[in-house]
Amino acid sequence: MPEKEVKLEKQLSPLNVWALAFGCIIGWGAFVMPGNTFLVKAGPMGTLIAMGIAALVMIVIAFNYSFMINHHPVAGGEFTYANEAFGKNHAFICSWFLGLSYLAIVPLNGTALALIGRNLMGGIFQVGFKYTVAGYDIFFGEICLAVVALVAFGIMSIRGVKTAGVFQTGLAVALVGGVAIITVAAIFSPEASLSNLAPAYYPGTSKLSAILAVVAVAPWAFVGFDTVPQAAEELKFSHKKTKVIMVVSILFGAAVYVLLNTVTAAVVPEGYANWVEYVNDLGNLSGLISLPTFHAAHQLLGTAGLLFIGIAVLAAILSGIIGFYMATSRLLYSMAKENVLPKWFGKLHPKYNTPANAILFVLVIALIAPFFGRTALGWIVDMSSTGAAIGYGYTSAAALKYAIREKNKSTIVTGIIGVVMAIAFLVLLLVPIPMFNCSLGKQSYICLIIWIVLGAIFFLASKKNRTN
């Protein structure tokens, strides 16, 4: 008697899937980018406009994702779409870059836990032996913290998508609640003032270049909504609802970015005339005041403010770990099913029906990162933004191909826009354009070249499997 095929279980509700997407969009970066990216590039108004534009672009691309989910409601997302539309060679290229984009964010969130300890808990985990990698001090206590978190959430991911989905939903609610409390406090507190939002743009920069400089980070800022198609096989509701879920997650993500940035600019520490003076002086500061968003929360609500923003940041970090465990493992699982990866990656757990081997692989790779620190990991994450743009491009191109065949005019339009924007994002990331100052750094270029070389080697080695 033939063995019964084990399949992924349909356990995720619409709320679970929204939490998956939103939790992956918002991470540690949302709380530090106001000081080191948004304000210094565009200012409060420039960031507001840029995030509005970026959200609209991402929504158009999300329409393409929803179109493809309804055509191929299986795990794998971009890999599946590229494979069905253009063949296994294109699918391999897409998934090679996208896989790194997803995989890198798991350890990035794991090591971000140490930053909470350093900045909000008095360096409680900075204990044990210490060494330095690329100028970043690494403590044994912080390594242990990251390892425990990565192992715990890896086990949770293996034990069932329903458990992970419920926990992810709780984290997303906590994240929204923390940001909402800080925002409401800013509205009613005398510590925040609309007059502090002047100037609206960063001085000495044209409005257009300021706005485009922030729009350029959209592939990194919004990576996460595209985790929805990775879980398409596990949805217990109509796939037609995915469009609304992705749009809502993008809008929530954009709102969090804008609210945190605006609150940060509206609360200026004593001794500074405006936010411009403050952010320009960050390089000379240390401690809490060197983190504008956290300092704003403390200035608004005191210790309670740090508690609320701490809860929000912790929720953002943990939801990112869970979400990208899920997304990365489903991508690897779908690649194995199509013989692009060894079949080992496609084996499901006999009890929990989750891609346990793929999750274990992500866990093992992620456990390496805490020993090298965030500086080195940051180089990989920066260059992996190209993976998100490539994923957007392939999905939009696949949607365009299907739409032309079906004479679906609206998707033809969104498909063309998605392809054009994906190419534009890649140009901004890979071509140094001084006025935008958003291209990859030297170390990230080196990492990208190494990844391309490794991909070429793996491509040739796995060619036999792809033709079978």
Structure tokens at 232: 């398409």
Please name which of 214, 236, 198 lies closest in space to residue 29, comparing C-alpha atoms: 214
Which DSSP state fits 291? S
DSSP character string of 57-70: HHHHHHHHHHHHHH
Instruction: Pick 435 or 82 by higher pLDDT.
Output: 82
Instruction: Pick 136 or 462 by higher pLDDT.
Output: 136
What is the Cα–Cα distance from 329 to 346, expressed in whole angstroms? 9
Q: What does the pLDDT look like over 174-229, one tens digit per residue?
A: 999 999 999 999 999 999 999 999 999 999 888 988 898 888 888 788 988 988 88
CA angle 306, 52, 73 (to 5 degrees): 95
Q: How many CA atoms does the CB half-sphere of 314 hold within 13 Å?
A: 15
What is the Cα–Cα distance from 11 to 292, expressed in whole angstroms? 40
Percentage of the residues of the chain whose pLDDT score is greater than 70: 96
Tokens 């796939």: give the residue: 239
Q: What does the pLDDT look like over 360-399, one tens digit per residue?
A: 999 999 999 899 888 777 777 777 778 888 999 999 999 9
DSSP character string of 118-141: HHHSTTTT--S-EEEETTEEEEHH
Asked if 101 and 324 touch (Cβ cutoff 8 Å), the reply is: no
Which DSSP state fits 143? H
Asked if 422 and 389 touch (Cβ cutoff 8 Å), the reply is: yes
Instruction: List domains and CATH numbers for the chain.
Output: 14-463 (1.20.1740.10)
Q: What does the pLDDT look like over 278-330, one tens digit per residue?
A: 999 998 988 888 899 999 999 999 999 999 999 999 999 999 999 999 999 99
Which DSSP state fits 202? -
**Is residue 459 classed exposed, middle or buried when 0-12, 13-18 and 19+ CB atoms within 10 A define those classes?**
middle
Strand partners of residue 154: none
The average confidence (pLDDT) of the chain is: 89
Please name which of 287, 351, 255, 267 lies closest in space to residue 22, comparing C-alpha atoms: 255
What is the Cα–Cα distance from 377 to 90, expressed in whole angstroms? 27
- Residue 136 clears pLDDT 90, i.e. is over it: no
Q: How far apart are the two ends of the chain, measured CA to CA in Å?
A: 26
Q: What does the pLDDT look like over 162-172, one tens digit per residue?
A: 888 889 999 99
pLDDT of residue 466: 55
3-state secondary structure of 235: strand
Provide the pairing of β-strand 136-139 with 130-133: antiparallel
3-state secondary structure of 42: coil
- Residue 260 clears pLDDT 80, i.e. is over it: yes
What is the Cα–Cα distance from 102 to 331, expressed in whole angstroms? 9
